[in-house]
Amino acid sequence: MIVVADCGGSALVATAFRRHLTSGGTGTVDALVHEDPADGPGELVRRLRGADTAVHFFTGPRLDDEVLEAARPGRIVVAGPANDCVDLAAARRLGIPVHDTPGLAARSVAEHSLTLLLALVRRLPEVVPAMSDGGWRPVFGRELGGIRLGLIGLGRVGELFASLAVALGMRVSAWSPHLDGARCAAVGAVPCGLEELLATSDAVSLHLRLSSAGERLLGRAELGLLADGALLVNTARAGLLDMAALRETVLAGRLGGVALDVFDTEPLPPEDPLRHHPTVLVTPHLAWMTKEAVDRFVAAAAGFVQNRTTTQVRQVA
């Protein structure tokens, strides 16, 4: 039996599973798809118990040690990255194989990063609230052509963003701990050192995975290297930034604008100054959230379950 135990109440996610997985759609197997959220771990266990394959969307409730011990599905296939939604150590201990399908929202994240940068260069964080409050305060912004964009990280998202930026006439430089010069050349980016990138870029966008080496990569000293009026975008991981130092920098008024989709505390508390500063634009961790990304995640997981493909799938436990 194949079970999708919790689609979080999302009709979009449930419809994608039914279309790609079940024999009633274009899929070839019978699967039980629960659209509504499970009412706690006990309900999640009841839905999963007896499943040969548990297919799980990566934003769903965490399949922790307690749930896995009680439910004992034959295997788990995650539509999306498994790291945050499955207790991998418990799965290994219990002998439950886990596969996932990471990296399939790269275009969505790259496009959202561009959206945030566009909003900053046209100073929308200042303009939109004023209009909502009944005001009328037009301001001068900038065009993207000719802007020096520094990318920290040149993986899938960074590559796509670089291509978009070059197509719009931006001058792109890039840094990562293991930067590939050929990869830079392929997307029209110029490799440079981190300090140089921070000091010379009109806008900086973060696209690194979080690791122990990258934890708080940009602290107070690094943020101090940014030019007055520089723009900063982060759709990657909040841990790449010293968020306390960033709040200080924002409140000091030295940067031209900051746009964030990830935070040290999520949901972002209502009283956080990042919500209310006129040069800051915040979005609720939605960079990946497009219909197309959901479909790619689900299609890859369903294809693996139905033995149609193993591409874009990795075993993590």
- Return the active site residues: 237, 266, 285
Q: 205 with 174: CB under 8 angstroms?
A: no
CA distance 257 to 298: 36
Q: Is 75 helix (H, G, I), strand (E, B) or coil?
A: strand
DSSP summary character for residue 157? H
- Residues in Cβ contact with 294 at an 8 Å cutoff, skipping those fewer than 6 apart: 12, 13, 16
DSSP 243-276: HHHHHHHHHHT-SSEEEES--SSSSPPTT-GGGT
Q: Measured between alpha carbons, how far is residue 217 from residues 129, 194, 213, 240, 262 in Å?
A: 32, 10, 8, 5, 15
- Answer positive or negative: Cα dihedral of 53, 59, 64, 67: negative
Rg (CA), the chain: 22
Helix (H) or strand (E) holding 282: strand 280-282
Measured in residues, the chain has a length of 317
- Comparing C-alpha atoms, which of 194, 193, 192, 216 is closest to residue 264? 216
CA distance 101 to 89: 18
Strand partners, 246: none
- Residue-wise over 167-191: b if at least 16 C-beta within 10 A, else e? ebebbbbbbbeeeeeebbeebebeb
Q: 116 with 238: CB under 8 angstroms?
A: no
